[in-house]
Amino acid sequence: MDTIPTPRTPGRWRFYRAVWRWHFYAGLFVLPFIAWLALTGAAYLYQKPIDRWVHHDLKVVAPSPQAPALPSAQIAAVTALSPGDVFRYTTSERTDGSVEIGVLRPNRQREVYYVDPTTTQVLGHLPDKGTFSGVVRRLHSLDLLGDYASALIEIAAGWAILLVLTGLYLWWPRGQKGGITTVRGQPRQRLFWRDLHAVTGVWVGLVLLFLAVTGMPWSVVWGKQVNAWANGQDYGYPAGVRVQVPMSQQRLADATSPTWSMEQARLPASALPHAHHADAEKHDGHEGHGGGALGDLSPQPGAIGIDAAVQRFNRLGLTPGYSVALPRGPLGVYTASVYPEDVAGQRVVHLDQYSGRVLLDMGYADYGALGRGLEWGINVHLGQEYGTFNRLFLLVACAAIVMLCVSGAVMWWKRRPLGGIGVPPLPKERRTVAIVFALLCVGGVLFPLVGVSLLVVGVLDFVASGGWRTPGPSRN
């Protein structure tokens, strides 16, 4: 049988049991989530090659020596087949790739049409974010669970942080000869699974900690609060936003899918070529609200048009594969955005829809220190920043995280008592449990939803254990 390592002092032993109890609760709640996130995250690491394979007929075209047709001709080919308003035009990232044209249908559904850039042949269409990688990302973010998904992600990430920190404390060598860097026993023994869990966890736990922290920006409470706090500050919000140009009430997130730190960024306003300020103010006050409504997408008199806008973006040197969000209303702008694998290549450019003048041109270098740090962490989290190495490292880490979850489940199954769930025993002094619980609650202040869940579990554990009292005699 395996044994729990015995520390040299009773005090350390009491804390070991208290920490073990909370490590058990953390694992009980989040191991299924962690395994799910690891599996879906591993698939998302290779989103582009998988999408090209799954949607080959839509995304891949025969390279042609001829120059691509004008964007307006490509858009006309789509609108001839599908009624609706075009809200986004995405250039091809590769010479053998199709262009993507987003259409808002009369029923308010968003569709993406794939077009051969040279022949303007419409290859087919999918719902917006309906590619294989789009579905995997929705599965990974638990969007299929509805409005509560972001809350679950925040709680799971917070408990994963707790799981890692308590696990490192339990792993810390206390005189034992095995289970630190080596695995003892045989697969039929719990000792084998305990050591496998500990040895795997000690190195992959740091990766899991990084993924949990860098996944927090997408959460519903902590993420939004930090985003709002970072935006509008020199250390977070892109410095290039604070320029002397009129700003509208429209936000970048209403028109495209920006980086996390840019979700609250407001769009500049085009200068009207004639005096229709009342009409402009009406559009400015209502567009972009109501669940991400796109507003008036009809072409405005005097606008330069998509062809001139794309030519201007090309001359500015944007990385191929950039998306252009079309203007919304008389104050709208042409917005080009691109987020390549190298975070330093991120860029957003806004053009006045009438004059073609650059109103705003910002990139990663314009972000504050906090914004750069957060975006770098997100890029590494997505497996993009360091190319093949980043993806392979995270792929191995995802496999190890799944192994961590499996070994933890097997270890629990082998030690659980009949008719019970096998909660680790309390130390003799209930003050020890209270101290550990109070320390955990400090982290709950930083992550509010996690803190609420900690209080709920703590109260239930306190009541169920009769006030954290050990029911029988203890050798400790």
Helix H or strand E encompassing 251 = strand 247-251
Identity at 12, one-letter amino acid code:
R
pLDDT band with cut points at 50, 70 and 90 for residue 260: low
Mean pLDDT, to the nearest integer, of 247-271? 71
Per-residue pLDDT at 295: 59
Beta bridge partners, 361, equal: 349
Per-residue pLDDT at 466: 79
DSSP 8-state symbol, 84: S
C-alpha to C-alpha distance for 343 and 384, rounded to whole angstroms:
8
Per-residue pLDDT at 240: 47
C-alpha to C-alpha distance for 17 and 468, rounded to whole angstroms:
12
DSSP 8-state symbol, 67: P
Per-residue pLDDT at 8: 47
Check pLDDT > 50 for residue 76. Answer: yes
Identity at 167, one-letter amino acid code:
G
Supply φ then ψ for residue 267, to 5 degrees: -90, 145
Check pLDDT > 90 for residue 354. Answer: yes
Mean pLDDT, to the nearest integer, of 374-393? 92
Q: What is the mean pLDDT of the chain?
A: 83
Check pLDDT > 70 for residue 264. Answer: no
C-alpha to C-alpha distance for 251 and 257, rounded to whole angstroms:
11
List the single range of 76-80, 101-105, 294-298, 371-375 with lowest mean pLDDT.
294-298
Instruction: Write down the pTM of the prediction.
Output: 0.82
Check pLDDT > 60 for residue 284. Answer: no
Helix H or strand E encompassing 324 = strand 323-325
Closest CA to 215 of 150, 162, 303, 277: 150
Per-residue pLDDT at 292: 43
Per-residue pLDDT at 221: 77
* Contact status, residue 288 vs residue 264, Cβ threshold 8 Å: no
pLDDT over 90, % of the chain: 38
Per-residue pLDDT at 58: 97
Closest CA to 52 of 113, 89, 94: 94
C-alpha to C-alpha distance for 139 and 36, rounded to whole angstroms:
9
Mean pLDDT, to the nearest integer, of 415-430? 78
